[in-house]
Amino acid sequence: MKVITTKSELRSSLQSSRTDRKRIGFVPTMGYLHEGHISLVKQAKLECDIVVMSIFVNPLQFGPNEDLNRYPRDFERDCELAKKAGVDYLFHPDVSEMYPSQSLTYVRVGQITEKLCGASRPGHFDGVATVVTKLFQIVQPDRAYFGLKDAQQVAVIEQMVLDLDIPVTIVPCEIVRESDGLALSSRNVFLTPEQHQQALILSKSLQMAKDKLASHLFESTDQVSQFVIQQIQTQSLAEIDYVDTLQYPSLESPNSLTDDLLIAVAVRFGSTRLIDNVLVRHNNKEC
């Protein structure tokens, strides 16, 4: 595995692979890797000849009062995990390499970014769309891998790639969970044992809602969200940011319980904000 810190070196390293028409798979991350990230690398290795992972904590997608400085980092450990997973190129630019001058350009995706995390975190998805566009221009991958824990991010990136004609195939990958059900997240490291225990309500309530939906026990999508809220409120340390049930991937308000639905939650435990979701597909495959 080659660690690369500059855009120009990454481009020239990938040039020969591109000329040889090797398929380049790309896994963009903010580091502090866990099995969720590794599952993306595994999928990329199945489908591509070369796997590029980026590790870059992107300041542009953090709000002024968010946890940019506190976001966990351990590059040495990440290197070992990436190497073991079979990453070929680990791109690890610093902020001045990614934003060398005063950047004036934003990529903005409308509508889809207005709900859920987009409503809670103004500007967040402008930062995501902009940095992902930049990374796509630098790496020029054939396929790029994103975890569905950030289901809204996947929807935003897919819309952006479609709208801007970026020549990359987006591959959404299943959420990876701990054995107790907690969705893997770099931020889980901040949870106390008690917070971790109470946070299990997220996956549990979402799975219960999905099961009840399958058994036709809801009369409206509002009831779905209300059910999840009530479940989460049984946990004393949980502070709900949002719980919502929306069409996926448009994130429009659902017309009926038989739409493809995303049930998504964001909940704080102390100063740690967790997100989780389930997808309930009626029109394509069941996730």
Binding residues for ATP: 30-37, 147-150, 176, 184-187
Asked if residue 153 binds its own copies (CB under 8 A), the reply is no
Euclidean distance between CA atoms 210 and 278, whole angstroms: 7
User: What is the crossing angle of helices 151-164 and 124-139, to 10°?
Assistant: 60
Q: Provide the 3-class DSSP secondary structure of residue 278.
A: strand
Asked if residue 23 binds its own copies (CB under 8 A), the reply is no
- For the bound state, the minimum distance from the C-beta of residue 138 to its own copies, rounded and expressed in Å, comes to 5
The CA angle 159-206-170, to the nearest 5 degrees, is 25
Q: x/- contact string, 48-87, with its own copies (CB under 8 A)?
A: ----------------------------------------
Of 99 and 218, the one with the shorter C-beta distance to its own copies is: 99
Helix (H) / strand (E) containing 263: strand 261-269
Residues contacting 37, CB < 8 A, separation 6+: 27, 29, 53, 81, 147
- Catalytic residue list contains 37: yes
CA distance readout (Å), 184 to 44, 116, 205: 19, 19, 17
Of 137 and 207, the one with the shorter C-beta distance to its own copies is: 137
Q: Given candidates 63, 122, 167, 270, which one binds its own copies under the rule CB under 8 A?
A: 167
For its own copies (CB under 8 A), the number of binding residues is: 30
Stretch that binds its own copies, among 61-69, 101-109, 196-204, 218-226 (CB under 8 A): 101-109
User: What is the crossing angle of helices 35-47 and 75-85, to 10°?
Assistant: 40
Euclidean distance between CA atoms 74 and 54, whole angstroms: 14
Asked if residue 160 binds its own copies (CB under 8 A), the reply is yes
DSSP 44: H
- For the bound state, the minimum distance from the C-beta of residue 213 to its own copies, rounded and expressed in Å, comes to 28
> On the CB side of 85, how many CA atoms lie within 13 Å of its CA?
28
Asked if 205 and 225 touch (Cβ cutoff 8 Å), the reply is: no
Annotated binding-site residue numbers: 30-37, 61, 147-150, 153, 176, 184-187
Near its own copies in 229-268, by CB under 8 A: none
Q: x/- contact string, 105-144, with its own copies (CB under 8 A)?
A: xxxxxxxx----------------xx--xx--xx-x----
CA distance readout (Å), 169 to 86, 160, 209: 21, 12, 31
Of 27 and 129, the one with the shorter C-beta distance to its own copies is: 129
- For the bound state, the minimum distance from the C-beta of residue 48 to its own copies, rounded and expressed in Å, comes to 17
Q: Given candidates 43, 61, 159, 277, which one binds its own copies under the rule CB under 8 A?
A: 159
Annotated binding-site residue numbers for (R)-pantoate: 61, 153
Which candidate in 37, 92, 216, 282 is catalytic?
Answer: 37
Residues contacting 110, CB < 8 A, separation 6+: none
Residues near its own copies (CB under 8 A) are 7, 11, 19, 21, 101, 103-112, 129-130, 133-134, 137-138, 140, 159-160, 162-167
Catalytic machinery residues: 37
